[in-house]
DNA sequence: TAAAAAAGTTAGTTATGACTAACAAATTAA
DNA sequence: TTAATTTGTTAGTCATAACTAACTTTTTTA
């Protein structure tokens, strides 16, 4: 097995880059991820990402050809999944034990995910009795990095008459998450698409006897499971 | 009041330096703390500390004259106490909820103490029902930075015939803490000084029907409350 | 298919926080 | 009170990770 045991000697920055590449790759499994796209996502300059990519390639976490698109090695994916596990476990802890609301947890979890201690995160997992999902509905990978990929589509991809169930939301924006709660939507809400307006792609939806119009941008951040 | 509200914009390094100065200053309230002593304590070069001290002076956390000793401003002390509060609360959490032993908590707490979130630490405090002391017997400052200074002396400062109670131990060394547990000492143990050997300052002690000889170095890291 | 636009790369700069080597000031010992 | 030692400072270097500006390659559009 010659386990490389690569003792987690990665900087916070290196970890953040690997996580970002991983997330861009699953969000759009078909489309390739390039240097500038990564720069956009991380809100740094293309020169910065170019530089970091070189380092991550040298360390064996990333594969790419010059002027080509980015791929992660198994080692690279493993680092990313462990970060996501930590991020989601901490978010769950903050929500379920420390009175944080779902819009408050992300920024603190961004810090906590970089704490280096295998025992800490596995014990936190045990303490919470191995939760399966984080406060935003995302699946939490287990201690071996395994996790089920639940088929989910965005609310914006549905058509008039479709009925779906809200199973997850994008956790990156405080404003978005507050907005979701304010209009009364929550995980498991059943949503019916009343109308998709061609003009601006805004969508008229019904849930729990509430009727609301949401923008395309809003619907892009809501993940659902189609029911009808 | 013109509260400066200095939004916690300190780096991990700046925080560590302020905490180190604070700890050196209370450990030896009479003796002044100098640049090289700080370098020794932090295990960096005197050039590094000299450089950082300049920055902390410019930012208003440290006061000192050229070639003179170091002092902390009120702002500097406040940063240090908040760090110590976070460090001790995390250690308590790790021990009491996540199955860590008292020798395992320090290194992880060194990382966790730098997480920036007022709500996180105050909620953690509430969750544990406002513990008063950390696993090593040290007092935890409250949310306003207030804490009682319990008079404590080192075991090494006692004389033959004295009786004392173990109230705290230095939490910096894993080896030391394991050693303390192994010989059967714990917080609240009542210790009698049987003999102080002039030759090497080693001390023969008795506690719980156990008789042990400990070195001067060991006794320097054990804090007690003199009983007789 | 040639021009324009987008994507990616390189060079050079900056800030932080380490380091060593050389030097200056202060303290201690002879 | 001079000399030796300790303490503190400065200058110059390095690594990390950001930046801008200029350039090259690839892709798209006309
Ligand atoms: Mn991060
Ligand atoms: Mn989440
Ligand atoms: Mn620290
Ligand atoms: Mn402690």
Tell me the HSE value of B226 on the side-chain side, using a 13 A CA sphere. Answer: 13
Q: How far is CA B190 from CA B139, B207, B211, in A?
A: 20, 6, 12
* Mutation choice for B interface testing from A111, A126, A128, A129 by most B CBs within 10 A: A111
- Give the global pTM: 0.93
- Whether the CB-CB separation of A192 and A205 falls below 8 Å is answered with yes
* DSSP run (H or E) holding A164: strand A163-169
Contacts of range B27-33, beta carbons closer than 8 Å, 24 or more positions apart: B32/B69, B32/B70, B33/B69, B33/B70
Q: In Å, how far is A137's CA from the nearest CA of chain B?
A: 22
Residue A6 has pLDDT above 70, yes or no: no
Per the CB < 8 Å rule, is A127 touching B98?
yes
Each domain of chain A, given as residue ranges in start order, spans 12-72, 153-226
- Which of the nucleotides in strand C have any atom less than 7 Å away from a protein CB atom? 7-12, 16-22, 25-26
Residue B163 has pLDDT above 70, yes or no: yes
Sign of CA dihedral B175, B176, B177, B178: positive
Helices (H), ranges, A98-225: 105-112, 118-127, 174-182, 216-220
Paired sense of beta strands A163-169 and A190-196, if any: antiparallel
Tell me the HSE value of A207 on the side-chain side, using a 13 A CA sphere. Answer: 23
- Whether the CB-CB separation of B128 and B93 falls below 8 Å is answered with yes
Mean pLDDT of chain A: 94
**Residue of chain A whose Cα is closest to the Cα of B126:** A98
- Which of the nucleotides in strand D have any atom less than 7 Å away from a protein CB atom? 7-12, 16-22, 25-26
Question: C6 C1' – A49 CA distance, angstroms?
Answer: 17
Residue entry with tokens 């090289």: B36
Domain A153-226 has CATH 3.30.590.10: no
Per-residue pLDDT of A196-223, as tens digits, reads: 998 888 999 999 999 999 999 999 999 9
Assess whether B50 (CB) lies less than 7 A from strand C: no
What six digits make up the tokens of B125? Answer: 């405090």
Residue numbers in B near A117 (CB within 8 A): 107-108, 111
Using a CB–CB cut-off of 8 Å, the residues of A that contact B are 94, 97-100, 104, 107-108, 111-112, 115-117, 119-120, 123-124, 127
User: Are the folds of A12-72 and A153-226 the same?
Assistant: no
Rounded to whole angstroms, the Cα distance separating B190 from B227 reads 9
- Whether the CB-CB separation of B131 and B124 falls below 8 Å is answered with no
pLDDT at A152: 87
Using a CB–CB cut-off of 8 Å, the residues of B that contact A are 94, 97-100, 104, 107-108, 111-112, 115-117, 119-120, 123-124, 127
Tell me if residue A226 falls in helix, strand or coil.
Answer: strand
Per-residue pLDDT of A89-144, as tens digits, reads: 999 999 999 999 999 999 999 999 999 999 999 999 999 999 999 999 999 999 99
Residue B29 has pLDDT above 80, yes or no: no
Q: In this structure, what are the phi and psi dihedrals at residue A29, rounded to the nearest 5 degrees?
A: -60, -30
Closest CA to A83 of A12, A133, A182: A12
Residue B8 has pLDDT above 80, yes or no: no
Fold classification of A12-72 is Arc Repressor Mutant, subunit A (1.10.10)
Tell me the HSE value of A175 on the side-chain side, using a 13 A CA sphere. Answer: 2
Tell me the HSE value of A62 on the side-chain side, using a 13 A CA sphere. Answer: 29
Tell me the HSE value of B20 on the side-chain side, using a 13 A CA sphere. Answer: 24
Tell me the HSE value of A13 on the side-chain side, using a 13 A CA sphere. Answer: 10
Give the ligand whose atoms come closest to the C-alpha of residue B92. Answer: 4
Per-residue pLDDT of B55-79, as tens digits, reads: 999 999 999 999 999 999 999 999 9
């Amino acid at each position: 097995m010659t386990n490389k045991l690569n003792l987690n000697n990665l900087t916070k920055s290196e970890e953040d880059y690997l996580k970002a590449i991983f997330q861009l790759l699953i969000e759009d499994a078909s489309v390739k991820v390039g240097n500038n796209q990564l720069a956009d996502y991380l809100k740094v300059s293309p020169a910065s990402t170019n530089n970091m990519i070189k380092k991550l390639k040298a360390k064996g976490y990333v594969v790419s050809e010059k002027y080509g698109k980015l791929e992660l090695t198994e080692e690279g994916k493993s680092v990313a999944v462990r970060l996501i596990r930590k991020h989601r476990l901490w978010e769950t802890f903050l929500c379920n034990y420390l009175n944080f609301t779902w819009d408050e947890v992300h920024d603190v979890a961004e810090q906590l995910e970089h704490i280096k201690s295998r025992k800490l995160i596995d014990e936190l997992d045990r303490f919470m009795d191995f939760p399966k999902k984080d406060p935003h509905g995302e699946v939490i990978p287990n201690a071996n990095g395994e996790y089920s990929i639940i088929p989910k589509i965005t609310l914006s991809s549905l058509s008039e008459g479709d009925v779906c169930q809200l199973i997850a939301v994008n956790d990156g924006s405080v404003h978005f998450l507050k907005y979701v709660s304010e209009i009364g939507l929550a995980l498991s809400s059943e949503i019916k698409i009343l109308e998709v307006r061609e003009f601006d792609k805004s969508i008229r939806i019904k849930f729990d006897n509430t009727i609301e119009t949401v923008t395309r941008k809003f619907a892009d951040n809501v993940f659902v499971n189609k029911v009808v």
